[in-house]
A and B are shown apart, each in its own frame.
Chain A
Amino acid sequence: MAGATEAATGAADLDLASGPLLEVSDLRVTFRGRRGTVYAVQGISFTVEPGRTLALIGESGAGKTVSARAVMGLLPESAQVTGSIRFKGEQVVGRSEHDLRDYRGRNVAMVFQNPERSLNPTMRVGTQITEALRSHLHLDRKRAHEQAVELLRMVRVPAPERRFYEYAHQLSGGMRQRIMIAMALACGPEVLIADEATTALDVTTQAQIMDLLLDLQRQTGTALLMISHDLGLAATYAEDVIVMYAGQVVERAPAKELFASVRMPYTQALLDAIPQIDREPHVLLPVVGGRPPDLSALVPGCPFAPRCPGVQQDCREQAPTLAEHEPRRWWACWHPLNRAAQ
């Protein structure tokens, strides 16, 4: 799995000098429950480079959010985490809650899908930002207030002095997500994880929030790890894409190359299913049937084999491993697509 990290570092030649901010290798997360053990993440590796945008793509249950929460140290006690997550070389797995408190927010921060549920409805939004500033950065009341207003301005909340005193319910979904971003950025994190941060928003608002995130990234040099089920969004905004299926990485590539020619049939299936404005009305979408496998009962072979249109006998017998088959292009498939196009 060390190979994965090396290659990803190679992918960002410019950033070689500074090295990766975040190095995840062979991360495995299992949940033990009454109904058996769920293998939610089954040995994934990736690196997050400073100033770059990496997208983690997959369906619900693919393990994207669990991976992100593992990086944040936010998994429940029932989760068993093995493998390593290093932030600037320092191990995160197994750290105490006390140590993690400093790491979260300052080093790695997260924006969640539902700003409604993540904001405290009984507190003014400004106070929620100053709370983070005061506890993490030990600012006094006045400085924290100034800083919070400045953060609101940075995330382009109109009339920030006034908005500071408003409550979450007085704001629109897009505004609430801006507040969440302001809170995440409060302590100047070096990695920002956006977990489906725009999924619940309108397309127009989604575009505004994504533009904002990329702008802030340019200004602050924060690395962005975006988690989404929307391959179209990833293609538009990310530089590198990792596609996850059933707790595993099945394809990774620079975004542009990935969409120019997909290798893994699962990625192709995701791409085909995106509603396209170029398609004719009333034509059925090409879509693979079935559902992702049950992660509590592991079966031999490629996890996508039961749904794969190009499945062959060897796919069912042995699982392909993720390997760098072409420079910067990784996939886990015995019969990749589009190889002739090379």
Chain B
Amino acid sequence: MSANGTGVTAAADGSVLLEVRHLVQEFVLRDFGGAKGGVLQAVSDVSFELHGGETLSIVGETGSGKSTLARSVIQAPPPKHGEVIFQGQDLVGLPRRALKSVRRNIQMVFQDPFTSLDPRWPTARIVEEPLIAYAIGTRHQRQERARELLDLVGLDPSRYGTRHPRELSGGQCQRVAVARALALEPKLILCDEPVSSLDVLVQAQVLNLLEKLRSELSLSYLFIAHDLALVKQVSDRVAVMYLGKFCEIGPVREIYRQPLHPYTLALLNSIPDPAAAKPAASSVISGELPSPLDPPSGCRFRTRCPRAQERCAAEVPQMRALSDGHLVACHFPLSGSWHRGAGSEPPAANGAPASAGL
């Protein structure tokens, strides 16, 4: 497993594994005749770093560009502008063959476990596939490895190895997808809403699995989600994305303790709270994501922002650090700490029998 012919190897924590600089991804829209209908800028000038062993979560609504960003990282398709530096090597414009050897270190887990697995193949074959693609080991070794991988994700290979995706539940399919992603011993896994389509208990099982694998195999995750509650458990840092741009990025505890961007606050306030009574309707942002074909001038969130002022329409807010590692792109960042609800306590958690009187 030494695909790192060039550049730095990110083995220990702290070293930069992935660096994305000023990434821009555009799609040209065409009408039925093929005439150019406009340019959709799905990701506009996004920069971040991901360290070895770290999990960075990217949170945003549908259409915010978070999945496009993840796909741009693996060059599917390559970004329009900017650099994607993985282990010291810029992937943008890399020849196919070189890209293929880099890609074994970057794997993906997708949202829909049923459509991302080949329905004709038994699970053991699905997990073996990446090893075949990279011609690793003999047939016997590969099959042995596939069995190990299924075992690693909590599926008994003798029982599940011969089953097809349609014979599995959503959670089991997602485990197979994780096993497949692990087959090539990648450094980085891009998880695109990996648990969004799962039931809450299965979701917790898969989240726990991802967390366990990360610490055992010293993986890095780029974790895409639309729910801030979900990513807290798995993240070291969180980035909040809105209409193609980062609003805020910071260490996980900081983001939840002291959100700086009004959009982050709105996302936090949208989370249903079992301990509270009815949510205040005013805590929820109104309106919809504006069209990315014609984003608002200045700050892109201003059309839905309760704090928007004239300056927000005139001037694009730049990312700036307000404390160590906590950056925000807002002219009027929030201050003060956030806590859920009004005086509500978190529900008794962690399996301990809850006591009355919350």
**A-to-B contact residues, CB < 8 Å:** 59-60, 172-175, 202-208, 211, 214, 229-233, 235-237, 256, 259-262, 268-279, 281-289, 291, 309, 337-338, 341-342
**B201 lies within 8 A of A273 (CB):** yes
List chain A residues, Cβ under 8 A from B171.
Answer: 291
Provide the residues of chain A in CB contact with B256, threshold 8 Å.
277
User: A309 with B208: in contact, given A203-B270, A270-B201, A273-B200 (CB under 8 Å)?
Assistant: no
Q: Are B232 and A285 in contact (CB under 8 A)?
A: no
B288 to chain A, nearest CB (A): 6
- The reply to whether B349 and A272 contact each other, CB–CB distance below 8 Å, is yes
Most chain B beta-carbon neighbours within 10 Å: one of A237, A270, A277: A277
- Asked if B28 is an interface residue, CB under 8 A from chain A, the answer is no
Q: Which of B96-104, B174-182, B278-286, B324-332 contacts A (4 or more CB under 8 A)?
A: B278-286
Report 12 cross-chain contacts, Cβ distance below 8 Å, ordered by A residue.
A59-B199, A60-B169, A60-B170, A208-B286, A214-B278, A268-B353, A271-B274, A275-B229, A276-B229, A277-B229, A278-B349, A282-B234
Instruction: With both chains docked as a complex, state the minimum distance between the C-beta of B43 and any C-beta of chain A, in angstroms.
Output: 18
When C-beta atoms are compared, the residue in chain A nearest to B252 turns out to be A281
Given contacts A281-B232, A281-B236, A287-B205, contact A236 B351 (CB under 8 A): no
The residues in B between 188 and 213 inclusive whose CB is less than 8 angstroms from any CB of A are 199-205, 207-208, 211-212
The size class of the interface chain B forms with chain A is 35 or more
Chain B 344-358 per-residue mask, 1 if CB under 8 angstroms from chain A, else 0? 001101110111111
Cβ of B228 under 8 Å from chain A: yes
Residues 269-299 of chain B, each 1 if its beta carbon lies under 8 Å from chain A, else 0: 0111111111101001110110000000000
CA of A36 to CA of B272, assembled, Å: 40
Which residues of chain A are near B228, meaning CB under 8 Å? 203, 277
**CA separation between A288 and B226, bound complex, in Å?**
25
Is there an interface contact between A275 and B235, defined as CB atoms closer than 8 Å?
A: no
* A342:B274 contact, CB within 8 angstroms: no
Say yes or no: A231 contacts B274, CB within 8 Å: yes
Residue contact A278 to B212, C-beta cutoff 8 Å: no
* Contact indicator B270/A207 (Cβ below 8 Å): yes
A276 B281 Cβ-Cβ under 8 A: no
Q: Which residue of A lies closest to B228 (CB)?
A: A277
Known A203-B227, A276-B347: A172·B63 in contact at CB below 8 Å: yes
B61 beta carbon closer than 8 Å to chain A = yes
A282 B288 Cβ-Cβ under 8 A:
no
Contact string, B217-256, partner A, CB cutoff 8 A, digits 1/0? Answer: 0000000001111101111100000000000000011001
Contact B199 A60, beta carbon cutoff 8 Å: yes
Q: Residues of B contacting A279 with CB < 8 Å?
A: 232-233, 349
A256 and B277 form a contact (CB under 8 A): yes
Residues of B within 8 A of A (CB): 61-63, 169-171, 199-205, 207-208, 211-212, 215, 226-230, 232-236, 252-253, 256, 266-268, 270-279, 281, 284-286, 288-289, 340, 346-347, 349-351, 353-358
Contact assessment for A282 and B211 in the assembled complex, using a CB-CB cutoff below 8 Å? yes
Interface of B: prevailing SS: loop
- Cβ contact within 8 Å between A202 and B208: no
- Checking B232, B234, B271 against A203 with a beta-carbon cut-off of 8 angstroms, the contacting residue is B271
Contacts of B351 in A (CB 8 A): 268, 272, 286, 309
Whether A281 contacts B235 by the Cβ 8 Å rule is yes
Contact B270 A204 (CB under 8 A): yes
Q: Establish whether residues B201 and A59, one from each chain, have CB atoms under 8 Å apart when the complex forms.
A: yes
A341 CA to B348 CA, complexed, in Å: 13
- Please tell me if the beta carbons of A261 and B355 are within 8 angstroms of each other in the complex: yes
A337 to B347, CA, bound (A): 15
Chain B residues in 8 Å Cβ range of A276? 229, 232, 346-347, 349
A203 in contact with B274 (CB, 8 Å) = no
Which chain A positions have C-beta within 8 A of B350? 272, 286
Residues A233 and B356 in contact, CB atoms below 8 Å apart: no
Contacts beyond the supplied A204-B266, A235-B275, A273-B203: 14 A-B pairs with Cβ under 8 Å:
A59-B202, A203-B271, A214-B278, A236-B279, A237-B272, A256-B277, A259-B274, A261-B354, A271-B274, A273-B200, A275-B230, A276-B347, A289-B205, A342-B356
State A157–B60 Cα separation when bound (angstroms). 22
Partner of B353, one of A214, A231, A337: A337
The 3 residue pairs across chains A and B that have the minimum distance between CB atoms: A278-B346, A235-B274, A273-B204
